[in-house]
Every structure is written in C-alpha cells, then in structure tokens.
Amino acid sequence: MRKTIYCLFILCFSVCLFGQNKLNYWNVLSAVTFQTGYSNGSDIPFDIPVFSEKLNAIDGKEIELEGYILPVEVGKSGHYILSKLPFNVCYYCGGAGPETIVEIISEKELEPLETKVKISGTLKLNDHDMNYHMYILNNSKLVE
C-alpha cells in the first residue's frame, strides 16, 4: 500500500513539473527599456528599445505566444498584431505598453478573433527601423 501511494505521489509530482516547462515569453518580452534616439537619419526623436540579455538570447529563436489577433490593414496583407491583452485594453486602445504586442508576419491569412489563440514563429528584435514594431514574429502560424 505504501509503495502504491509513493508511486502515485511521484507520478503526480512529475506531471506537475512537466506542465511547468513552457516559458511564458510575454514575461521575457517585458524586459525592455527605452532611450530617446533617431532612426535611419530621421530628425524626429523616438523611443529606441534597449533589449535585455534574456531578450537577446531568444532573438532568432522559435517561440510560442498566446494572445489576441488584431488587424493592421483591411484586406489580405499577411501582417497582423498579436496582443497579450484583449482589444479594448490593448496597446492601441487601452493603457498597455508596447511590450504587450508583437507584429506577426504570416504567409497564411489569419482571422482577427475575440478569443485567445496560440501563435508560433521566429522572433526578430527590431531596434532600428521605426516602420516596424520592436518585436516581429516571422513565419507565424496558428498552433492547434
């Protein structure tokens, strides 16, 4: 009987540990600071992101994020925004910071949804081109 309880305890504990392996990349993306600077010879100052060591470590790596797909343009463009927060409190409509959104570039059309989705793609950090967001997820696809 004792061995059975011990085995069940070990089994439950290992399942709990297995579920903890996924890194919450939204927390890593929040590790950014800003300094005022200029982009591509522009005379207009803007906030340039300064990425942490943790962020630089995942640059170019495939990551998964959960969030809400927001449209950028009308029609089929392949460009979307993934927001950590729902539309009514996102970076554009609410008071959230720019670290709560990621630009999504996808070959397939994605439907803006009011429910959370999981997206995977290759993270690109952008600290020099103000025409794009500081976080870009290339080759993005929905995770089933």
Domain boundaries, the chain: 23-142
Percentage of the chain exceeding pLDDT 70: 76
Query: What local confidence, expressed as pLDDT, does residue 20 receive?
Result: 46
Convert the pLDDT of each residue in 54-102 to its tens digit.
Answer: 999 999 999 999 999 887 766 566 788 999 988 667 766 677 888 999 9
- 89 against 50, higher pLDDT: 50
Query: What local confidence, expressed as pLDDT, does residue 41 receive?
Result: 72
- 113 against 18, higher pLDDT: 113
Tokens of 80: 């979307």
Q: How far is CA 127 from CA 55, 61, 65, 82, in A?
A: 12, 17, 21, 19
Looking at residues 47-56, what average pLDDT do you find? 94
Query: What is d(CA 52, CA 29) in angstroms, rounded to the nearest whole number?
Result: 9
Nearest to 77 by CA among 111, 126, 127, 128: 111
The domain 23-142: what is its CATH number?
A: 2.40.50.140
Looking at residues 30-48, what average pLDDT do you find? 86
Query: What local confidence, expressed as pLDDT, does residue 131 receive?
Result: 85
Q: Where are the beta strands (DSSP E) in the chain?
A: 32-37, 46-51, 62-71, 79-83, 101-105, 117-125, 135-142
pLDDT of residue 32 exceeding 90, the answer is yes
Q: How far is CA 45 from CA 35, 37, 40, 42, in A?
A: 10, 5, 11, 8
Confidence at 18, pLDDT banded by 50, 70, 90: very low
Query: What local confidence, expressed as pLDDT, does residue 13 receive?
Result: 53
Helix (H/G/I), strand (E/B), else coil: 112: coil
What is the value of pTM for the model shown?
0.77
Helix (H/G/I), strand (E/B), else coil: 62: strand
Query: What local confidence, expressed as pLDDT, does residue 95 receive?
Result: 75
